[in-house]
Amino acid sequence: MFGKSPRPRALGLGIHHTESVFTHSGPNADLALARAAEQANIPFTLSTPASNSIEEVAAGAGGDKWFQLYVSSREQSEWLVRRALEAGYTTLVLTIDVAVNGLRERDIRNNFKIPMNMSPSVIWDGITHPSWSMDYLLNGQPQLANFVTKDASDLEAQANAMSRSLDATFDWASLRQLRELWPHTLLVKGILNADDAVQCVANGADGVILSNHGGRQLSEVISPLQVLAETRQKIDKPILIDSGYRRGSDIVKSLALGADCILLGRATLYGVAANGQEGVSDVLRILQNEVDNTLAQIGCSDVRDLNPGYLHEDSIRLMQQTV
């Protein structure tokens, strides 16, 4: 996809959430995800607020590793980018769709905070989920590992050190500066407008990720799938897409519409929460089997042969409403 040998799989694995900090898989959820991705021969994206650090994942897992960056301050961002570069990451994923945190009503109702607030409801959840509680007692609460320093040894201090709100002054000139800092593949994630994708490429990006952050930022926002075909017409660069993929048939449809790679987030987190690395591998096997079955059903022997001719307009319209 980026001038490397073709991958045998149709899937890309991306982790763009802080939920890995709270999974029932001990303190090494991101390592488990990275190792499962290596085993499946697909890329793994380490998030800025990960439970394992840039260096830990680089040392503990092989394969094609990407780093996802939230720009909260220029100094902090440069520090993270240089660490990823020194650790051998091949792709930098600049995330631009968190100018402010979305109004997530469930989090408000649950009084969700980092570190976790030990409210009566949380305590009751712990009582009714004993295996999670035992894991928590044995391993402690995972850390925001990229921000563990002598001045930020506890989770609250790490959360204060990392703001997920985007630097409001970050603009196209800032993207060009980031391009100068990062010598490898650079992707911009959070694009929902084909003209913005054109501007990203003009300012140094090697490709874009169409994403609405899984619908978690603004519930009324359009699906990335709704701008995929137009974006494919306007840029001759890799287009990746995420947000809500749960079925192999939807992966096939998106590849037919012009996506080069589908990134998975929540689905693989379900796997690692349920059964660690093997749980992630199970999720990938299920999706790969569904992809293979769908290709066989429609008479396509190679994902590289997929094109819009395999799709009916009603199928596209329904998918745009659900993915």
Class of domain 11-322: alpha beta
Mean pLDDT of the 111-136 span? 79
Listed in sequence order, the DSSP H helices in the chain are 29-40, 54-60, 74-86, 105-109, 120-128, 130-139, 155-161, 172-181, 194-202, 228-234, 248-256, 266-298, 313-322
pTM as predicted: 0.86
Please name which of 319, 287, 235, 320 lies closest in space to residue 12, comparing C-alpha atoms: 287
Nearest-angstrom CA–CA distance, 33 and 49: 14
Nearest-angstrom CA–CA distance, 190 and 319: 19
Nearest-angstrom CA–CA distance, 122 and 3: 48
Could you say which of 16, 17, 24, 213 is catalytic? 213
pLDDT at 146: 85
| Residue that is written with structure tokens 């190792």 in the block | 35
How confident is the model over 166-225, as pLDDT tens digits?
677 889 999 999 999 999 999 999 999 999 999 999 999 999 999 998 777 777 789 999
| Residue that is written with structure tokens 């090494």 in the block | 28
Contact 198, 231 (CB under 8 A): no
Please name which of 48, 114, 47 lies closest in space to residue 77, comparing C-alpha atoms: 48
pLDDT at 163: 58
Amino acid at 23: T
Omega into 27 within 30° of 0, i.e. cis? no
- Six token digits for residue 240: 């990746």
DSSP element (H, E) containing 250: helix 248-256
Mean pLDDT of the 256-271 span? 93
Residue 184 appears among annotated catalytic residues: no
Q: Average model confidence (pLDDT) for the chain?
A: 84
Coil, strand or helix: which one is 186? strand
Q: How is the chain split into domains, by residue range?
A: 11-322
